Structure 1
Amino acid sequence: MKKRILLQFLYLLPLFILSACTKDDNEAMPQSTISRLYVSNADTDAAVVNTMIFDPADLSTFTEPYKFDSKLPDGNGILFNPYSGTVIQVSRKNKNIRTFRVNTDGSLTNANSFVDEGLLSAREMAYDRSRDVLYISSNIDSAIYVYAKASTLTGTVNAFKKLKLNGQPWGIHLDNNRLFVAIDLDRKEVQLFENVSELAVGNISPTKKITINGASRLHGITYSADRDILLLTDIAESSASGFETDGAIHIIKNVATEFIVSGKLVSPAATIRGFKTNLGNPVDIAWDDRVSKDLIYVAEKANRKILVFKFNDIGDVKPSAIASLSSSPEAIYLDAR
């Protein structure tokens, strides 16, 4: 009898192992009552730390952020994986992608690190947890770099594949194997790549796209599938006269019907813009889309601030909260569940 049970166990063991190693796309998000905003700073001065965390991030007044010396000068994209409790951040200068563990008190400790010498101009990142694939946009060479088995990479590596776009990508957002890409410069375009994990190396074309009416130069992007709403930042002039006051946030509703194969000129449902907003070069955006919160967070690089707006804000309005920094925020990621 014992021999029979042992044989049954040995037969089922591979199935148990396979089940344990396979990630379920529908696995429930780990729950938490915290609201943490991760900030990546673009400074190259060694005296400036390039990683900050505002915890909590949803108060009417910001408290002093936790600062961590991540050794990532010219920090760009940053993201948090709640399933592993880790942060990923990229240095545009060093072409270094590092992972940090988030401790129970919210502090960070070093984990994995890898360098891709071919990564020309890293900007934003998106992570596919179910496939363990990391996407990094690079504006100078109009490319998306793709890293397979991203959580295990160390040392010097090459991208698993390089996807070439017909415009310069900046902000990217991954939603259920769909990649939204904000195209930089005068294109004023958002491209959508469906089944992005199946795209082959080389030149790619978007499945669908939209052009934003009234926009100047798009950078930051985030999307809520639950609300079917897309938020974009517009930096307008990057350095010319008035560059520190001409930024904007565009809100696009009913995304599922607005994106079409041939492209469509779409007018925002709402735009936040004006002198009172403090928006000059808003380079990145995050949204707490919970109805009880509905807060929009912006990395305002020109004025060195983190700005918070209410989702229903429109026009020339004051932020509901402001964090004045001594560093240049380039990218943000909000963990609010």
Structure 2
Amino acid sequence: MKRLKSVKFFTLALSVSLVFFSCSDDDNATPIVVPSGEEPSNSELYTSNNSDGNIMIYNVTDLDNVSSKSLLTTSLAADGIYYDSSTDMAVQASRSNLGLEGFLDISLNDSGISIDIDVSGSADMESPREVAVNGNFYVVADNADADGNPLTADGRLYIYEKSGTSFTLRNTITTDIKLWGITFKGNDLYAVVDTTGDLAVYTNFLTNDADVSLSASKRITIEGIVRTHGITYDASSDTMILTDIGDAGNTDDDDGGFQVITAFTSKFNATSNGGTLSASEQVRVSGSSTMLGNPVDVAYQASTGTVFIAEAGNGGGRILAYNNIGTGGNITPTLNNQLAAASSVYLYTE
């Protein structure tokens, strides 16, 4: 067991929110139906931010009684985050240290503890964003300009392999799209196409084991999205969710949203390469009551039909949650916690 050293103590935060519900007027939208069955006995939301680089963990088992703890890291800013329950390890992509950082014995730490890096890698990246995990492989999307020409669309996907206490860079993929959010669906890597409303997929992604330039296997447009950032896929319900930050220049922080695509596999397969997945096949949540201005990441709990959002803009940054989504619309969040410059969320349930 690792010895823990506290550098300062944080007060345990408790947030209680009221549940609100509203529906859109889109009669073509398919309502989001929460499957019957046993709800998780424990749900934890791991979050990162670009304000201080610390890890905030919310216990969201009961959204009417949410507690949180803050774990202090050496990063000044961080993005993509992941939790591995088999090793009790949280991993985040450090934007200040430019590498992956893993922290063991996470569940044993009290709020306010300064945690040491137990699993580390080289500082290879320039602007790391989302992290997607498949087995021992950790893929990081980097949205820095890959070729030095701001007029061309490109980015990099860094593929690390975890072994023991190290993240070793296996290879780097240069893309011909701008990157932000990524997620695995089986062995296929889905990536949002930043500055657009498009979604791309790289099939059997990890078989690309050399440093190469790679085009997406397929790319489609998600109707209704202005500029997508966050993405998550839930295999148990075949649900894909993408966030829309709207106009990046909007200073009102009220033009964002997210779109839920149920039966995603059949809908994506039925959409031709270069085609558009219509708004009638999705459920959209947006509007002034949602507090969505710059939703940069998303997580989903299918058993309760709850969507969690890292909101980077509204009020300086928030962690938001929505349930009773129904057919979408201008829904007030069930959970609304302040988190300065929130950048990433990952949901763990048991």
Amino acid at match of 1:319: P
Query: SS at 2:180's partner residue?
Result: strand
Larger Rg: 1
Give the superposition deviation at 1:82: 1.9
C-alpha contact 1:72 1:96 (8 A) present in aligned 2: no
Distance 2:46 2:61 in 1: 9
Residue aligning to 1:169 = 179
Is 2:194 aligned against 1:188?
A: no
C-alpha contact 1:210 1:258 (8 A) present in aligned 2: no
Residue aligning to 2:329 = 315
Give the structure-1-normalised TM-score: 0.80
Give the structure-2-normalised TM-score: 0.78
Give the superposition deviation at 1:112: 2.4
C-alpha contact 1:72 1:90 (8 A) present in aligned 2: no
Query: SS at 1:259's partner residue?
Result: helix
Q: Give CA-to-partner distance per residue, 1:20-76, whole Å, 9 cap, x none.
A: xxxxxxxxxxx9721111110111xxxx4521001245422433x201111112110
**Mapping for residues 106-145 of structure 1, pairs under 5 Å:** 107=110, 109-129=115-135, 132-140=136-144, 141=146, 142-145=155-158
Is 2:257 aligned against 1:248?
A: yes
Note the residue ranges of structure 1 that are not aligned, 5 or more in a row. Answer: 1-30
Query: SS at 2:118's partner residue?
Result: strand
**Mapping for residues 263-274 of structure 1, pairs under 5 Å:** 263-268=274-279, 269-274=282-287
Is 2:97 aligned against 1:94?
A: yes
Residue aligning to 1:179 = 189
Amino acid at match of 1:119: M
CA distance 1:111–1:49, shift in 2 (3 Å): closer
Higher helix residue share:
1
C-alpha contact 2:132 2:183 (8 A) present in aligned 1: yes
Note the residue ranges of structure 2 that are not aligned, 5 or more in a row. Answer: 1-38, 147-154
Give the superposition deviation at 1:279: 0.3
Is 2:201 aligned against 1:203?
A: no
Is 2:306 aligned against 1:295?
A: yes
Is 2:288 aligned against 1:275?
A: yes
Backbone CA RMSD of aligned residues: 2.2
CA distance 1:58–1:171, shift in 2 (3 Å): farther
Give the superposition deviation at 1:115: 4.4
Distance 1:259 1:98 in 2: 34
CA distance 1:105–1:313, shift in 2 (3 Å): farther
CA distance 1:121–1:179, shift in 2 (3 Å): same
Distance 1:191 1:239 in 2: 25
Query: SS at 1:318's partner residue?
Result: coil
C-alpha contact 2:295 2:311 (8 A) present in aligned 1: yes
Give the superposition deviation at 1:286: 0.4
Which residue, 224, 227, 239 being the options, matches 2:237? 227
Which residue, 85, 88, 91 being the options, matches 1:85? 88
C-alpha contact 1:62 1:323 (8 A) present in aligned 2: no
Query: SS at 1:245's partner residue?
Result: coil
Count of residues paired in the alignment: 292
Give the superposition deviation at 1:241: 3.7
Distance 2:121 2:249 in 1: 31
